[in-house]
Structure 1
Amino acid sequence: MEYSRDSLPPGTVIDCYSIIKVIGSGGFSLIYLAADEDTQDQVVIKEHLPKKLAVRDEHMQVQIREDSLRESFNSGRKLFYQEVKALATLRHPNIVNVRTFFLANNTSYLVMDYEHGKNLGSYIKKRKGYLSTTFIMTVFPAVLDALNLIHSQGKLHLDIKPSNIHLRPGGDPLLLDFGAVHQFPTTRSRQSAQVVTPGFAPVEQYYSSGYVGPWSDVYAMGATMRACIEGKPPPSAIERHAKDQMKPATEMFKRRYPAHLLEVIDWAMEVDPLLRPQDAGTMLDALVEYKGRPFETNSSEPEQNKEQAKENDV
């Protein structure tokens, strides 16, 4: 019998939650809107169901496509547990809140608070970029503050991109999808495989020998900010590493955005990890203090940036 990665039908009850509808999907999971049968609160449920590895049978049980894929399926399930563990230790107003975790249907489920709003990735596509300075300065300091907490606990997100940022009413952001979260590596050798999203992942995430760190999340933040302006993902870091033809934001968008903002984006997106801000806190400080990129030869630059930023915000 042929099986597909069918979603759970509306009305299905798992644990104490009733499925309302599918609201998202990825290569490794399905995302549902559901209701708590006791409180009637709406929640988001993430179901571990890797598209290439597993299917759902006629009894709604998840089955591995073939025995040779079992090890890969189990490895993916470990990453799913990792996301649960990471979120359970992170409490921040701009990080999605986890309610519970349970096992059912031969797979795993993560239950999170449901928040009204829209996805940043979809919003960028709809607006075709050129989001306002006010919007960017509302969203990204909050996300950077959340990321700073993650870094302060010795963790890395490693999958920051527009589709992993949810915008609540008023532009209040929520950082999503912690399935790629890793502890800081203590050595350059034997790095585990990384999630790679072209345009947003830095060059070090493409290689098992790459030395990832807070600077890797910083690159992805800069790329996400640039996508808000340009309306599309930047060129991949691999392309840039081979031959960097991406024009600096300070040149392309200087007539529409304040210098300090564009400098922070270019600084964060340096191909060489050593040339970037080394953590989210440093990037946050440069952004909110109107410092831009540090210039050793021009001590008056931050003050000039600050005045220009104020003019652009008006």
Structure 2
Amino acid sequence: MSQMCPSCSHNNPDTAHTCSVCGTAMRGLLGENTVLSNRYKVSSVLGCGAMGAVYLANDQRLVGRRCAVKENRLDPSASPDVQSQSREQFLAEASVLARLDHPSLPKVSDYFIEDGREYLVMDYVEGEDLDSRIQRTSAPLEEALVLDWADQVLDALSYLHSQHPLPIIHRDIKPANLRLDTRNRVKLVDFGLVKLLDSNNPETKVELRGLGTPAYAPLEQFAGSDSHTDARSDIYALGATLYHLLTHIAPPNVHERLLKPEVLTSPRELNNKLTEKAERIIMKAIGIHPTERYQSADEMRKDIAEKTPVAAAPPVKAAKSAPAKKGVSPMMFGALALLFIAILAAAAFFVFGERAGNLPPQQANAAVEPSATPTELILSALSDAPTGTPTSTSEATEEPTVEPTTEPEESPTTTPTPSRTPSPTADASTPTSSSSLTIPASTLDGTIAYPIFNGVDYDLYFGQADGSGTTLFRKGASQPAFSPDGTRVAFHSWRLDSWGLMTMNLTESNAYLVARFVEDQLPTWSADGSEIIFLSRREGDRKSRLMKVGSTQVGSDGIVIGEGEYPSINGTGRMAFKGWGSTGNGIRTATSNLSDVQVVTTDNSDTAPMLSPDGERIIFMSRREGHWDIYSANPDGSDVQRLTESPSEDGLPTWSPDGRAIAFISNRGGDWAVWAMTPGGSDQQKLFDLEGSPDGFVGSSRDASRGWAEERISWTN
């Protein structure tokens, strides 16, 4: 056993109290070459604080990739409340970072717990933080350079402050938390004091306790203030940071300024090369009271870009007559002084890499004419997968639809033209089929699992097919699939402590985390229930792969069986999925090992396929006519029928266990509900209303979330 020095990373014996090289006191850190989660091999210490450390590690799965691993270590002598708060802070930080995607913000790629310690994994990039840059220079930094960095940070703040449903307030902007890479790009790091702001209630939904760093923290962030932090708090901290970078002197803390305004020296007195414009921007940003500052990141960014003089901030001299805020007293400041002494100065060194943009891959080969029952050669796994997974057109989100970089030329195919069901004569929202079959709702039974977007991620509900009621099964879950015997359910877990795919009994017992990447999606069971086949985009190379793991296997990396999307397996063991190959993109069927691949359709918008229990018919959703509808076809691609023809969005079809009905979700009439119809499309009827919309995007990474068109409902007895 060994431990690395927190200062020089030298590997010392586990029993050492001080480093044998530099004499620094040991902190019980990990030893060199420790392998975490069977994947991350630690090589050095990037930073160390009171509650943990940040390590540089090599990713042994993706050879050549280096990453930063942040560790949260609980103090064994701390009270249970303090330990619980530490866990909540770390998990909240992970939750926030996991759903952000911006070039100036860090990106979490993994989260796990090992030996009682929590870890976050992020990309690593060469560079330094701006606090280090200040320390190694003896003069103020160049104005043009600093204002360019400020513009980048403000772009990130604008992104954070406009997050839905709750704006994100960083609350700890300072030079040490601005990381500069070799391309002069800034990353805003360390979200340990992050706050989610409810615009309808100034109290926080999630707020991690801490005052920030005094020189950069605004008045409202300290104990005893009547105000609450908001976007203008981050504006103050950035302004104080600019003051430090452009004068080489940290500004006095806001309470000193409140008591004695003259302690703040104007920036141009400290740096005579500074322009009046830069000084005015800084002074406006660091107004003592929020109303004196820029009211948004975009407003401040506009002034930085403006070539004409910006609006003057209140002069420093005038601040001398500013009255103290009501309730401020010498005793109060004495208490605050004690608080300052208690503030820990440790700053974790987050080192993050530029995350490759989510550029859509190129379209696969254009469709060519298939034979009557075509069999195709699957394209090499080294080729780019198409971006055919469509996204929603619902008003619930403004996330752009994923489209190919370039539109392929359309080639004629022999995909049968779907036969339209006759238009309805009474209600346009409830079309009927030429078939006279009916399915009285009272004769339907069983449970239908479905997802509801809660504004941040998804919750999983169970509804009774006879319309007798719905119940919340699990928070932070979606994409359900019942096991063949109906006793278990597989689903995607959005919880940070169980990221990935899970299987469990319907009583929520015997739970297994069978796949542990947030990019692992859409599980389906093998016919005997022993395996889970799923879609994964975990490698970050824009490819959609089909993988399999044991249904009770924990922590396995899984086995890649080929490329494809949206797999589902019926009781005969035959798999339907969205695939691509020499005939183009569309619905395919194959064995569960992806052999004997048969082409069903070659329309790129076709998705969410499911074979009937007897394997004689396949249903899927498509927007061939401009909006989502349900279609069916024979497994050989013949007899394509359009089953729904309403102006609403109809999708996510699933078969009843006996195959005599099809359930789907629809927003007919403006509200989402589960509907049912016969296999021929007749007798379309609402079974029950949903608690909300199934449409939403978890974060902005399309590797993990693509809206309701990549969700699922499932039906069991």
Range into which the TM-score falls when normalised by the shorter chain: 0.7 to 0.9
Distance across 2 between alignment mates of 1:23 and 1:77: 22
1:6 paired with 2:28, answer yes
CA distance in 1, matches of 2:252, 2:159: 29
The residue correspondences of 1:71-86 to structure 2 (distance < 5 A) are 71-86=81-96
The residue that corresponds to 1:89 in the other structure is 99
SS in 2 for 1:170: coil
Q: TM-score, normalised by structure 1?
A: 0.83
Q: Deviations over 1:10-34 (max 9, x none)?
A: 1111111111011102233311000
The equivalent of 2:230 in structure 1 is: 213
Structure 2: which 5+ residue stretches go unaligned?
1-14, 18-25, 314-717
Distance 1:146 1:129, change over 3 A: farther
Match of 1:228 in 2: 245
Asked if the contact 2:193–2:210 (Cα under 8 Å) also holds between the matched residues in 1, the reply is: yes
CA distance, structure 1, for counterparts of residue 123 and residue 27 of structure 2: 25
CA distance in structure 2 between the partners assigned to 1:290 and 1:264 by the alignment? 13
SS at match of 2:250: coil
Which residue of structure 2 aligns with residue 202 of structure 1?
218
The alpha carbon displacement at 1:221 in A equals 0.2
1:300 paired residue number: none
Q: Which residue of 1 aligns with 2:184?
A: 171
Task: State the SS of the aligned residue for 1:9.
Answer: coil
State the Cα deviation string for residues 68-117 of structure 1 (Å, max 9, x = none).
x1211110111111111111121111111211111112121000000111
Alpha-carbon distance between aligned partners in 1 of 2:249 and 2:35, rounded to the nearest angstrom: 39
What amino acid maps onto 1:279 in structure 2? S
Contact 2:284 2:312 in 1 (8 A): no
Quick check: 1:279 aligned with 2:296? Answer: yes
1: CA distance, partners of 2:247 / 2:115: 43
2:120 is equivalent to residue 110 of structure 1: yes
- State the percentage of identical aligned residues: 29
Q: 1:31 to 1:189 in 2, by over 3 A?
A: closer
Residues 266-301 of structure 1: per-residue CA shift (max 9 Å, x gap) = 1001111110001211111111124554259xxxxx
Query: What is the aligned partner in structure 1 of residue 53 from structure 2?
Result: 30
Change (3 A) 1:80 1:142: same
Separation (CA, whole Å) in 1 of partners of 2:244 and 2:191:
21
Change (3 A) 1:265 1:291: farther
Letter of the 1:46 counterpart: K
Query: 2:32, 2:208 → 1: CA distance?
Result: 37
CA contact (8 A) 1:5 1:49 kept: no
Given that 1:138 and 1:172 are in contact with CA atoms closer than 8 Å, whether structure 2 keeps it comes out as no
TM-score where L is the length of structure 2: 0.38
The one-letter amino acid paired with 1:10 is E
Equivalent of 1:44 in 68, 82, 94: 68
CA gap 1:188/1:136 in 2 versus in 1, 3 angstroms: same
Q: What are the Cα deviations for residues 101-137 of structure 1, in whole angstroms up to 9, with x where unaligned?
A: 1111212100000011111101011113410022112
Distance 1:133 1:127 in 2: 14
Matching of residue 65 in structure 1 with residue 77 in structure 2:
yes
Change in 2 beyond 3 A, CA 1:70/1:293: farther
Alignment size in residue pairs: 281
Q: Are the aligned partners of 2:194 and 2:208 in contact in 1 as well (CA < 8 Å)?
A: no
Could you list the per-position Cα deviations for residues 120-170 of structure 1 after superposition, in whole angstroms to 9, with x for gaps in the alignment?
Answer: 101011113410022112211011101110011111000100000111113
Taking structure 1 as reference, are residues 239 and 42 closer, same or farther at Cα in structure 2, changes over 3 Å only?
Answer: same
Q: Which residue of 2 aligns with 1:138?
A: 148
Q: Could you tell me how far apart the structure 2 residues matched to 1:222 and 1:291 are?
A: 20
Q: Which amino acid aligns with 1:203?
A: L
Q: Aligned partners of 1:213 and 1:292: how far apart in 2? A: 27
| Unaligned residue ranges in structure 1 (runs of 5+) | 55-63, 297-314
Q: Which amino acid aligns with 2:172?
A: D
CA distance in 2, matches of 1:175, 1:196: 15
Is contact 1:250-1:266 (8 Å) kept?
Answer: no
CA distance in 2, matches of 1:84, 1:115: 19
2:193–2:212 contact (8 Å) kept in structure 1: no
Match of 1:18, SS state, is strand
Separation in structure 2 between the aligned mates of residue 87 and residue 25 of structure 1, nearest angstrom: 20
Instruction: Select 2:135's aligned residue among 99, 103, 125.
Output: 125
AA in 2 matched with 1:44? A
Matches of 1:2 and 1:210, distance apart in 2: 48
> Retained in 2: the 8 A contact 1:128–1:230?
no
SS of residue in 2 equivalent to 1:216: helix
SS in 1 for 2:157: helix
244-253 or 161-170, larger mean C-alpha shift:
244-253
For the 8 Å contact 1:19–1:33, the answer to whether it is kept is: yes
Q: Please tell me whether the aligned partners of residues 192 and 208 of structure 2 are also in contact (alpha carbons under 8 angstroms).
A: no
Structure 2 counterpart of 1:211, one-letter code = H
2:446 maps to what in 1? Answer: none
Counterpart in 2 of 1:239? 256
Q: Which residue of 1 aligns with 2:581?
A: none
- The residue type equivalent to 1:79 in the other structure is Q
Residues 195/118 of structure 1: CA separation in 2 closer, same or farther (3 Å cut): same
Shift of 1:210: 3.0
Q: Distance in 2 between matches of 1:74 and 1:128?
A: 43
Whole-Å Cα distance in 2 between the matches of residues 164 and 192 of structure 1? 17
Aligned to 2:195: 182
Runs of 4+ in 1 over 4 A off after TM superposition: 1-4, 185-192
Q: Shift in Å at residue 193 of structure 1?
A: 3.5
Give the whole-Å Cα distance in 1 for the aligned partners of 2:119 and 2:170: 20
More helix by share: 1
* Bigger Rg over Cα: 2
Aligned to 1:150: 160
Instruction: Spell out, residue by residue over 1:172-227, the C-alpha distance to the aligned partner (whole angstroms, 9 max, x if none).
Output: 11111111110125555688743320100011111254321111000000011111
Which structure is higher in strand share? 2
SS of the aligned residue for 1:211 comes to coil
Between the aligned partners of 2:308 and 2:73, the Cα distance in structure 1 is: 45
Q: Please say if residues 124 and 228 of structure 1, whose CA atoms lie closer than 8 Å, have aligned partners that are also in contact.
A: yes
Does residue 35 of structure 2 align to residue 19 of structure 1?
A: no
